[in-house]
Chain A
Amino acid sequence: MIRVKNVTYGYGEEPILKDISFKEIENGITAVWGRNGAGKTTLMKLLAGHDKPNKGIVEIMGAAPYNRAEVVQSVCYMQENHPFSSIWNVKDSLRFGQYYYSNWDMDMANRLLKIFKLDEKKKISKLSKGMKSALQFIIGISSNAKITILDEPSNGLDANMRKKMYKIIRESQEQHPRLFLVSTHHIEEIQQICDSILVIHDKEVFIHEPIDEIREYGIWLVGDKNKIEKVTDGQYVLEASELGSRLKVMVDVPFNEKWKEIASFHGLSIEKVKLQDYLLNRTEEAE
């Protein structure tokens, strides 16, 4: 559904995205992760046809989206802090959604307004940050667009609202199979509903894998310094800190039986690294 091949984008000498390509993304939920300024938002804008790549191919269901209304109609891109008209209230934005998206579901939109306790008469410019995020989310879900792109949908929402949001995304995807691209800083929370993860780092695609495989990676080992150094010899150590004769390391290997046995054999403690920490460390190294 989404194809990106050798795409470079930017002004002047320093590109914002540098020759990026990834395997075609199909129906399902893909998490987009990257540090601030990595190029996530730029990529989303290219996919939504807001901008045109300097080089390379961006295709949405076989066609380039830039300046092509008929292509972009199958994409609902909800930006972080989406620009709405300053005179609109909540209801106006939903009417616009209904007018614009051919598969718009107004019943769903009204149900979600209640869940997120949004007043449809309220001016969008008067909404709190969290409530505005909720409205953008509601439009994204109700659009039923073949490709739904949500940039940081959970900004300003509390844990309870975020939890509801993940459940709604999963259910919506199952009822109306389509492609969700969701960027988030709360990767820990959203991972369990995702199929795959796309990590943008340093203007490039750094990881694009099924999420099940990535979340298995990264272990903490703690114990005697000499033993740790021996078992991690030749492995990729992402982080290390010492406390007396003890050493704590984060190693880029899967948390599996083999490593549990190695740890137990040498009397080392072993634990799984949280996905967020793992990604932070992976992207640290590559800087």
Chain B
Amino acid sequence: MKPILDESLPIFQQIAQIVINDIVEGHLTEGEKVPSENELSNFYNINRATVRKGLQTLVDEEIIYKKRGIGMFVMEGAKTKLLDERKKQYRKEYILPLLEEAKRLGMSVETVMKLIKEEEKK
């Protein structure tokens, strides 16, 4: 869990990301209760309406669901769904920048592959 919020994204999106990361990393398991609006707004000292908006985006994406009067819970299958999305992002966020930087430095794809294999052996 992120200790503080930053400028990288709107606050409500950061709240959604925090819950997503907890699910992907296994800190929140399927069927488990998600931290409440109150807990999140106290932890980060942010407006409760902002927290609500962040959690609502996860409800809309069917990552979590509401149980009236009890709280929000992680949906069955949420982790697999999030992992699939992350894998799609992997190419864009890691592979493409990796190749772009290699190109700037004049490194061939073979050299990059060699470096990756070396790193893996360590």
Contacts and interface: CB of A to CB of B under 8 A. Distances in A.
B47 interface: yes
Most B CB atoms within 10 A — which of A174, A195, A212, A215? A212
Contacts of A170: 41, 45-47
B10 interface: yes
Contacts of B46: 170, 192-193
Contacts of B53: 212
A212 B45 contact: no
B10 A212 contact: yes
B8 A193 contact: no
B11 interface: yes
A272 interface: yes
Task: Give the interface residue-count category, chain B.
Answer: 10 to 19
A194 B41 CA distance: 12
B95 to A, nearest CB: 13
B44 interface: yes
B45 A167 contact: yes
Task: Give the interface residue-count category, chain A.
Answer: 10 to 19
Interface in B106-120: none
Given A212-B11, A215-B10, A274-B7, A195 B45 contact: no
A195 B47 contact: yes
Nearest to B7: A272
Contacts of A167: 45
Contact of A29 (B7, B8, B41, B47): B47
Contacts of B45: 166-167, 170, 192-193
Nearest to B48: A174
A29 B8 CA distance: 23
B20 to A, nearest CB: 16
B99 interface: no
A216 B48 contact: no
Interface of B: 5, 7-8, 10-12, 41, 44-50, 53
Interface of A: 28-29, 166-167, 170, 174, 192-195, 212, 215-216, 272, 274
